[in-house]
Amino acid sequence: MSNRKSKNNNLMHAECLSQVQRILRARFCHQNPHSNLFGVQVQYKHLIELLKRTAIHGESNSVLIIGPRGSGKTMLINHALKELMEIGEASENILQVHLNGLLQINDKIALKEITRQLNLENAVGDKVFGSFAENLSFLLEALKKGDRTNSCPVIFILDEFDLFAHHKNQTLLYNLFDISQTAQTPVSVIGLTCRLDILELLEKRVKSRFSHRQIHLMNSFGFPQYVKIFKEQLSLPAEFPDKVFAEKWNENVQMLALNRVTASHPFVTPADLMEANQLCSMDSKANIVHGLSVLEICLIIAMKHLNDIYEEEPFNFQMVYNEFQKFIQRKAHSVYNFEKPVVMKAFEHLQQLELIKPIERTSVNSQREYQLMKLLLDNTQIMNALQKYPNCPTDVRQWATSSLSWL
Amino acid sequence: MKTEAQSNKVNLKLFKDLSAAKKNPSDCQSSTGPMAYYLTRLKTRQTYSWVGKPLLDQKLHYQTYKEICVKIDGCSDIHIQVGQFVLIEGDDEENPYVAKLIELFEDDGEPRSKKRARVQWFVRFCEIPVCKRHLLGRKPAEQELFWYDYPACDSNVSAETIIGPVQVVALAPDEVLPMDLKNEKTFFVKLSWNEKSFKPLSPELFAELDKPKEGSPKCQKPIEAKTKGVESPSSATTEQVVKRIELRHSASKSRQTPRAVTPTARKRLELGSVPGMANTRNSQQPSCDSLGSPGRTKKKVASSEVTLPSKRSHPDRMDTASPTLRGPQKTGKVQLICTQGENNKASYERHRNLRTRVPPLRSTEISDKRTLCPVGGGQKSSTVPSVILKPENIKKREAKEPEALNEASSTSHRVRRRSSLLTLNRIRQQLRFLDNGKCDQEEEEFLPTAEISVSSSDSEQEEVATPPLTRRAPRSVSRNLRSTLKLSLEIPSKTPQKTPKPRTPFRATPQIRSRKLAAPGPSNVLEEARLRLHVSTVPESLPCREQEFQDIYSFVESKLLDHTGGCMYISGVPGTGKTATVHEVIRGLQQAALTNDVPPFQYVEVNGMKLTEPHQVYVQILEKLTGQKATANHAAELLAKRFRTQGSSRETTVLLVDELDLLWTQKQDVMYNLFDWPTHKEARLVVLTIANTMDLPERIMMNRVSSRLGLTRMSFQPYTHSQLQQILASRLKHLKAFEDDAIQLVARKVAALSGDARRCLDICRRATEICEFSQQKPGSPGLVTVAHLMEALDEMFSSSYITAIRNSSVLEQGFLRAILAEFRRSGLEEATFQQIYSQHVALCRMEGLPYPTMSETMAVCSRLGSCRLLLVESSRNDLLLRVRLNVSQDDVLYALKEE
């Protein structure tokens, strides 16, 4: 949610406002583990207990944190790690390895990254030497050397876990899970993913070695919880320098939450929020249509009619041109009869905007006029866009509503 | 395992050539390519002839001799007498076998060679099976041998396999092994090895070994004569020095040469000291010595003598006892080698001297090392989560010497590998330092090549200083870097710290750092149960696999007893105890071997999943068998050679190949080789293979492969519920943490699902956690009940789709409804986004809700797609992208209706 300020704030507030913006931006955009957790207490407890047992007792574990995007998986693990590091006996005892499936796109890179983060011996500075095979056997040997009571536990955090499952043979996952299931260096393998079918991606041997612990994160918040989150996220902290401003701000946030609105208030107003919301949920294609020329609009309407007539069958330029010609000759008063090359140009522009899309790939020898196309706009979208289209000629509008309007 | 050492040396050598060419152009006229050198080597022929009158052995009707003469290319001959220690050709050219000559005789019955010798074997540490090396309990010294006390070993060898004499010194148990001797031809014996344990030498044996061999003063006469002349530097001829250098580098040289030689020809490469083979390759190095006038050399000697004790502690480490010998340092050293036979006693004393001298020198050097890379040292900063401190100095150094870098990069086209480039760099820098240092010392006639030879021999020594056990593959590069890095720092350091510190391992084995705080033991019953239920805990016995255990055990045992080989294929779904059972069998057999019930054997385990590529299996097997490190192709050759040729004292090898299916290649050559080796009589190889599928041989193997695999198969059935129950009960022996019903429940559930014992254990472990959480008051651990187990089962097995749908937003649920409506309308299981959107709009209108825009709906669609509730095409198809449900329609309906 954006926090747009009302325009009429006083000058004395300018500095405070920039601070507010900074705080809120940090809160929303940076994943700092200082904010509070909402509604995931059970999962959090499960995770933190698991990590503690790894760190303190040296128990190997593997767990998957599954939840849709934006449900706070990374925040959960960050919180848990932060709490873990605050426990004295644990913080000295653990090593962390962070991997991301988007960065470590194959096992070779992942191994180098692990070696680097563990600062093993074949890492010099930031470089890891040796071939893939050497690195693997080196790492495995290093991990094999340890045992439950003497070795420092390693916590592996695999972000975008599902991408690791696409690596060849799932070597990395097999080995990590295998270590977690044998008496070697204690490890915790924590995978973060948004895919619910993640277990089906794992190969049967890998799957058997995975402990099947899954922590599901669902944002199953009710309205009151959302209101609470909203309030907590927008409220300013107590250590804000300008106490008076902070108090007023917080009061305002409370009021917003309670929907008691006073339009004259100098802070965030519901209208601002509504506008922001509208901006967020705007139809992007309708926006594009608003910026088209009348000729292009006409072409789109012609395509719409073709779609209606031929029931979603693909069309080509010639068909569209014919349809357009019919309209020009019978009905149009305000639209100029453009030359065919001009219409072609407009047609190509539409293709560039990806409002129409060729069905098969463009080949060199096929004539452009006869290439089959499909319209990527829905009827409702076209009608809505037309309604808002500035200075739309009346006849065009009429033609849009009915292909037979000229009769 | 020499390859890494060798790569280092290659670098050094290359650099030597470079720098020699640059700095001392006059000195390198005589250098020719390595090829020429190699060919001269190959051409040498050895002829063996008896010396003295034959004595007739009454009992055996053999003619025995006292002495044998080895003639090399007619130029020189070595006399070897009975009672001397000799090197004997073996599988490994770098490390020929060492033995004591007991008897020389002629046997007409032998087809290949009539000249026979009876020997008493010594074993090197690297010849001891990898799995037993830990029995030593310490790091072996670099030149340490073990008296091979194993009567079954064949002691009758062909006399023509004798390479040359060697010196072996017996040490009393309380004597310290000299750690850093430069003399490669002197070995030390302290313990005996009888395939089971290391024992100190018996007193009489010690006395026998220790007494100097008066009877052998005449061996190596010709060389002795020549080396005597060498003692005065002025009279040294180039040729001789060449020989000496060659001697030192022989090990590394022979590796560089192509491998396509007959074994015997290759063996002879070992004979570095053989005269008549001018080593032209290294000749620029000795030629400095020889070309330089005696006065010049003396000058150098004098100055180095002055600077020796304080400024350069390392070079005299390789020197012999007296510092005055240092001037012709190489001479002194080589002399030690060549004249060993002659004045055995004297050199022995010299060693003793050395031994006493060494410790302080060593410690100063070590203190340098410590500052550099405190590997495995106790001092670790508690805040940094790093395992081992990084040698940051590299960068600093590089920053200091940018010109050196530039210079190095100009030569980079010659040096392919970055590591070698780095190495080169370091040496270059080090040279610079040296140059500066020398200038300070007003040493005008500084000989760069000589200095390099010092540093290279230093690094060689570093190589040798670590026992073979720790020479593992992945460190090769970093090690090179480090050793050279150390060099570069060691040499310029003018004031070595005198504080003696305990020796830190130069190359620690790969290891995760150990934990700071000890792990607390289990504090209550549930924790104890959790510990025991962890899959990693190895139970004392494997219940429910007795039959399989027996079958595998008797199979391997019979092969061991018969000294034959064979294959076995074991299949079964994951989590049925295949690997665990085989491990158990091996453990049992190893124990049986200790009590002499079965012959001792070597055990090697490889896992297809732990390889990056099927051919890497050769590398792993070779490394685990011999500690050697080679490329995949080379390793395959070596293994084939090993398993196809007669080994003198080979014990049976048991090879476990886990996850066999991953060794599949297009040509199936890996599998073919694995199954082909055991068919050779000499191989004595038992291969146990494990895979998941029962019909793997039929399905993926070619006929010739599956035929070699044979029909010895075994399949592990999934555990039944009673077996699972038994497993749990045996793990929880005497521990009342679970209700009986609870155990039965989980056993039945898992047996019905997969029969995977890991699952069963994991569920129980999770149940103990749930039980602990639900426990209100701590300290009174309750019993895990059926309810707890049900919760754990639910957590692990319940489909998450339905909960996900239930917890999705209103818009998402609406979209799912629209999908269902569209499917019903069209009667298909697939629809385009446009169709669904129109349905969605219609549904919203029906319910009087504001309908979302296309973009919003698209976002909803891709969100559901990313959770895999829907299967969607890539979103560039936009309106036309096709959507399917990943859940059954009924499930969606059920989930949506609930509310």
Q: Is residue B718 a contact partner of residue B755, using CB atoms and an 8 Å limit? A: yes
| pLDDT score at A349 | 92
Mean pLDDT of B58-66: 67
CA separation for the pair A321, B806 (Å, rounded): 49
Contact between A69 and B419 using a beta-carbon 8 Å cutoff: no
Q: Which residue of chain A is at minimal alpha-carbon distance from B608?
A: A171
What residues of B are in contact with residue A380 (Cβ under 8 Å)?
Answer: 838, 841
Which of B154-158, B334-338, B891-895 has the lowest average pLDDT?
B334-338
Q: Where are the beta strands (DSSP E) in B369-525?
A: none
Q: Which residue of chain A is at minimal alpha-carbon distance from B856?
A: A281
**A200-221, pLDDT tens digit by residue?**
899 989 999 998 898 888 877 7
Structural domain count of chain A:
3
**B757-774 helix and B525-533 helix, angle to the nearest 10 degrees:** 160
What the block records as the tokens of B738 is 């679970």
Contact between B527 and A58 using a beta-carbon 8 Å cutoff: no
CA separation for the pair A166, A314 (Å, rounded): 37
HEC profile of B86-100: EEECCCCCCCCEEEE
CATH of the domain at A390: 1.10.10.10
Q: Is residue A386 a contact partner of residue A286, using CB atoms and an 8 Å limit? A: no
| pLDDT score at A161 | 93
Same domain, A186 and A157: yes
Contact between B475 and A381 using a beta-carbon 8 Å cutoff: no
Q: Is residue A154 in some structural domain?
A: yes
| pLDDT score at A360 | 75
Q: Is residue A300 in some structural domain?
A: yes
Same domain, A89 and A176: yes
| pLDDT score at B569 | 92
Q: Count of A–B CB contacts within 8 Å?
A: 245
Residue B36 pLDDT > 60: no
- Model confidence band, residue B556 (pLDDT cutoffs 50, 70, 90): very high
Amino acid in the structure at residue B24: N
Contact between A49 and B769 using a beta-carbon 8 Å cutoff: yes
Mean pLDDT of A264-283: 66
Residue B431 pLDDT > 70: no
Contacts of B208 (CB under 8 A, 6+ apart): none
The residue whose two tokens read 């500075």 is A125
- Model confidence band, residue B818 (pLDDT cutoffs 50, 70, 90): very high
Mean pLDDT of B510-518: 67
Mean pLDDT of B402-410: 43
- Model confidence band, residue B551 (pLDDT cutoffs 50, 70, 90): very high
Q: Which residue of chain A is at minimal alpha-carbon distance from B473?
A: A134
- Model confidence band, residue B467 (pLDDT cutoffs 50, 70, 90): very low
Which of A260, A279, A298 marks a domain boundary?
A: A279
What residues of A are in contact with residue B518 (Cβ under 8 Å)?
Answer: 149
Q: Which residue of chain A is at minimal alpha-carbon distance from B383?
A: A92
Same domain, A62 and A136: yes
CA separation for the pair A129, B422 (Å, rounded): 12
Q: Which residue of chain B is at minimal alpha-carbon distance from A200?
A: B868
Same domain, A5 and A91: no
Contact between A132 and B612 using a beta-carbon 8 Å cutoff: yes
Which of A167, A200, A216 marks a domain boundary?
A: A216
CA separation for the pair B512, B490 (Å, rounded): 28
HEC profile of B54-85: CEECCCCCCEEECEEEEEECCCEEEEEECCCE
Same domain, A262 and A376: no
**B210-219, pLDDT tens digit by residue?**
654 444 444 3
Q: Which residue of chain B is at minimal alpha-carbon distance from A174?
A: B609
CA separation for the pair A131, A124 (Å, rounded): 14
CA distances from B437 to B328, B442, B663 (A): 21, 9, 56
Phi, psi of B236 (to 5 degrees): -70, 130
Phi, psi of B147 (to 5 degrees): -65, 125
Mean pLDDT, chain B, whole residue set: 67
Q: Is residue A407 in some structural domain?
A: no
Q: Is residue A181 in some structural domain?
A: yes
Residue B820 pLDDT > 80: yes
Q: Which of A41, A121, A155, A223 to mutate to test the interface with B (most CBs of B within 10 A)?
A: A121
Q: Is residue A34 in some structural domain?
A: no
Cα A217 vs. chain centroid, distance in angstroms?
Answer: 16
Same domain, A7 and A135: no
| pLDDT score at A165 | 92
Same domain, A60 and A113: yes
User: What are the percentages of helix, strand and coil residues in chain B, rounded to 5?
Assistant: 50, 15, 35
**B483-508, pLDDT tens digit by residue?**
433 333 333 333 333 333 333 333 44
What residues of B are in contact with residue A136 (Cβ under 8 Å)?
Answer: 610-612
Which spans in B441-566 are helix H? 448-465, 476-490, 525-533, 546-562
- Model confidence band, residue B524 (pLDDT cutoffs 50, 70, 90): confident
Contact between B481 and A124 using a beta-carbon 8 Å cutoff: yes
Higher pLDDT, B791 or B485: B791
Mean pLDDT of B48-76: 70
pTM of the model: 0.63
Residue A159 pLDDT > 90: yes
- Model confidence band, residue A102 (pLDDT cutoffs 50, 70, 90): very high
Nearest chain A Cα distance for residue B888, angstroms:
14
Nearest chain A Cα distance for residue B227, angstroms:
44
CA separation for the pair B255, B176 (Å, rounded): 32
Mean pLDDT of B664-677: 89
Contact between A95 and B477 using a beta-carbon 8 Å cutoff: no
What residues of A are in contact with residue B1 (Cβ under 8 Å)?
Answer: none
Residue A184 pLDDT > 60: yes
Q: Which residues of B324-358 are buried (b: 16+ CB within 10 A; e: fewer)?
A: ebbbbbbbbbbbbbbbbbbebeebbebbeebbebb
User: What are the percentages of helix, strand and coil residues in chain A, rounded to 5?
Assistant: 55, 10, 35
Same domain, A63 and A192: yes
Nearest chain B Cα distance for residue A362, angstroms:
16
Contact between A214 and B520 using a beta-carbon 8 Å cutoff: no
Burial class (CB in 10 A: 0-12, 13-18, 19+), B430: buried
Q: Where are the beta strands (DSSP E) in B543-638?
A: 566-572, 601-607
CA separation for the pair B684, B560 (Å, rounded): 8
CA separation for the pair B454, B877 (Å, rounded): 70
Residue B67 pLDDT > 70: yes
- Model confidence band, residue B152 (pLDDT cutoffs 50, 70, 90): low
Q: Is residue B555 a contact partner of residue B585, using CB atoms and an 8 Å limit? A: no
Higher pLDDT, B573 or A135: B573
Q: Is residue A352 in some structural domain?
A: yes
If one counts every other C-beta atom within 10 angstroms of the C-beta of residue B295, the result is 10
Same domain, A357 and A382: yes
Higher pLDDT, B695 or B288: B695
| pLDDT score at B429 | 60
Same domain, A302 and A328: yes
Q: Which residues pair with B48 in a beta bridge?
A: B70
Contact between B385 and A94 using a beta-carbon 8 Å cutoff: yes
Residue A174: which of B474, B609, B797 has the nearest Cβ? B609
Residue A124: which of B478, B522, B765 has the nearest Cβ? B478
- How many CA atoms lie within 13 Å of B785's alpha carbon, on the beta-carbon side? 5
Nearest to B184 by CA among B167, B169, B164: B167
Residue A48 pLDDT > 60: yes
Q: Is residue A113 in some structural domain?
A: yes
What residues of B are in contact with residue A174 (Cβ under 8 Å)?
Answer: 609-610
ipTM of the complex: 0.85
Residue B394: which of A69, A125, A130 has the nearest Cβ? A125
| pLDDT score at B583 | 92
Contacts of A391 (CB under 8 A, 6+ apart): none
What residues of A are in contact with residue B852 (Cβ under 8 Å)?
Answer: 281
Region for residue A160 given its phi and psi (left: phi exceeds 0; alpha: psi -120 to 50; beta: otherwise): left
Q: Which residue of chain B is at minimal alpha-carbon distance from A88?
A: B517
CA separation for the pair B607, A175 (Å, rounded): 10
What residues of A are in contact with residue B620 (Cβ under 8 Å)?
Answer: 137
CA separation for the pair B564, B650 (Å, rounded): 12
Q: Which residues of A40-76 are buried (b: 16+ CB within 10 A; e: fewer)?
A: beebbebbbebbbbbbbbbbbbbbbbbbbeebbbebb
| pLDDT score at B582 | 92
Which of A216, A241, A259 marks a domain boundary?
A: A216
Contact between A129 and B481 using a beta-carbon 8 Å cutoff: yes
How many helices (DSSP H) and strands (DSSP E) are in chain B?
32, 21
CATH of the domain at A132: 3.40.50.300
- Of A130-134, B142-146, B660-664, the range with the highest mean pLDDT is B660-664
Contact between A68 and B863 using a beta-carbon 8 Å cutoff: yes
Long-range contacts of B294-301 (CB under 8 A, 24+ apart): B294/B232, B294/B233, B294/B234, B296/B445, B297/B233, B297/B327, B297/B328, B298/B233, B298/B327, B299/B445, B300/B327, B300/B443, B300/B445, B300/B447, B301/B326, B301/B327, B301/B328
Residue B841 pLDDT > 80: yes
Contact between B804 and A218 using a beta-carbon 8 Å cutoff: yes
Which of A256-265, B11-20, B420-429, B644-653 has the lowest average pLDDT?
B11-20
Higher pLDDT, B816 or B374: B816
Q: Is residue B549 a contact partner of residue B542, using CB atoms and an 8 Å limit? A: yes
Mean pLDDT of A357-373: 77
Contacts of A294 (CB under 8 A, 6+ apart): A335, A392, A393, A396
Residue B163 pLDDT > 60: yes
CA separation for the pair B254, B701 (Å, rounded): 39
Per the structure, the complete domain to which residue A301 belongs is given by 285-401
Contact between B852 and A60 using a beta-carbon 8 Å cutoff: no
The pLDDT > 90 percentage for chain B reads 10
Nearest to B120 by CA among B179, B193, B173: B193
Mean pLDDT of B446-471: 39
| pLDDT score at B643 | 85
Mean pLDDT of B105-109: 70
Nearest to A381 by CA among B813, B814, B879: B879
Higher pLDDT, A18 or B431: A18
Burial class (CB in 10 A: 0-12, 13-18, 19+), B147: buried
**B220-238, pLDDT tens digit by residue?**
444 444 444 334 444 444 4
**B132-141, pLDDT tens digit by residue?**
676 777 767 7
Same domain, A144 and A207: yes
| pLDDT score at A135 | 81
Residue B859 pLDDT > 70: yes
Contacts of B400 (CB under 8 A, 6+ apart): B429
Same domain, A207 and A174: yes
Residue A386 pLDDT > 70: yes
Q: Which residue of chain B is at minimal alpha-carbon distance from A378?
A: B834
Q: Is residue B659 a contact partner of residue B674, using CB atoms and an 8 Å limit? A: no
What residues of B are in contact with residue A281 (Cβ under 8 Å)?
Answer: 852-853, 855-856
- How many CA atoms lie within 13 Å of B381's alpha carbon, on the beta-carbon side? 6
